[in-house]
């Protein structure tokens, strides 16, 4: 096993463990983690905007960075409190959907992917991978998460809809962040997570999907 892959695997396991522990630790620990992610994400986004658009003012770059990190953070916060009281089950299920979608899309795309979605922005993403990830994630949400979480989480239909949101809007957030990095001449948004880049690199799938999902749960 290559050292780089080992590092990525170990760091990834640490990221997952940290997120899960903070979610299970309660609303306070989850809010603290979100605050730290927002702070680091804002620093990365501000630098990326400054590099991508050097003619913009420092204030404008900082303001756009606030929007980029605060919108998904509010969405992730709302997913935990959508029933009024903090519930970890919905947050755990949400992250399982995001991680599963990324994994299935990668595996299907690597095996059968031929048609690239946006070769100039993210050459590795294919329509075949996207479709495979969507189907697997929707089935996971409706058939596995719903019965596993029971009455402590949304219904099977709602989990299916949330999985669809993850599958459709997650890649849009990913491609948006990739476009910003390409314009800025960056490979990664940061280096705080060895083998994984920065906070924006790990949470780009939540940029659009999380706030939309939180609004959906509040309405229905």
pLDDT digits (tens, 9 = 90+) for 36-46: 999 999 999 99
Cβ contact 125:118 at 8 Å: yes
Residue 2: pLDDT band by 50, 70, 90 thresholds?
A: low
pLDDT digits (tens, 9 = 90+) for 120-179: 888 889 999 999 999 999 999 888 888 887 666 678 888 889 999 999 999 999 999 999
* Residue 164, φ and ψ in degrees, nearest 5: -65, -40
Q: Is 122 helix (H, G, I), strand (E, B) or coil?
A: strand
Cβ contact 179:193 at 8 Å: no
Q: Which two tokens stand for residue 94?
A: 């949400």
* Extents of the domains making up the chain: 3-219
- Mean per-residue pLDDT for 69-77? 95
- The structure's pTM equals 0.93
- Mean per-residue pLDDT for 97-114? 93
In angstroms, the CA 57 to CA 64 distance is 11
CA-angle at 8, arms to 110 and 197, nearest 5°: 95
Q: Which pLDDT value is given to residue 152? A: 61
């Amino acid at each position: 096993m290559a050292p780089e892959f080992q590092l990525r695997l170990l760091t990834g396991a640490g990221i997952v463990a940290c997120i899960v522990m903070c979610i299970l630790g309660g609303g306070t620990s989850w809010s603290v983690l979100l605050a730290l992610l927002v702070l680091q994400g804002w620093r990365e986004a501000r630098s990326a905007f400054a590099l991508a658009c050097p003619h913009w003012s420092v204030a404008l770059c900082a303001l756009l960075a606030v929007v980029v990190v605060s919108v998904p953070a509010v969405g992730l916060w709302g997913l935990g409190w959508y029933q009024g009281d903090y519930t970890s089950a919905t947050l755990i299920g949400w992250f399982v959907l995001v991680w599963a979608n990324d994994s299935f899309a990668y595996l299907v795309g690597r095996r059968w992917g031929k048609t690239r979605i946006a070769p100039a922005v993210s050459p590795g993403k294919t329509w075949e991978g996207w479709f495979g990830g969507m189907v697997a994630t929707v089935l996971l949400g409706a058939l596995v998460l719903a019965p596993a979480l029971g009455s402590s989480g949304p219904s099977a239909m709602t989990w299916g809809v949330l999985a669809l949101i993850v599958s459709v809007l997650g890649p849009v957030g990913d491609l948006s962040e990739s476009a910003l990095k390409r314009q800025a001449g960056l490979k990664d948004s940061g280096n705080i997570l060895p083998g994984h880049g920065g906070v924006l690199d790990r949470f780009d799938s939540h940029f659009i999907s999380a706030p939309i999902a939180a609004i959906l749960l509040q309405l229905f």
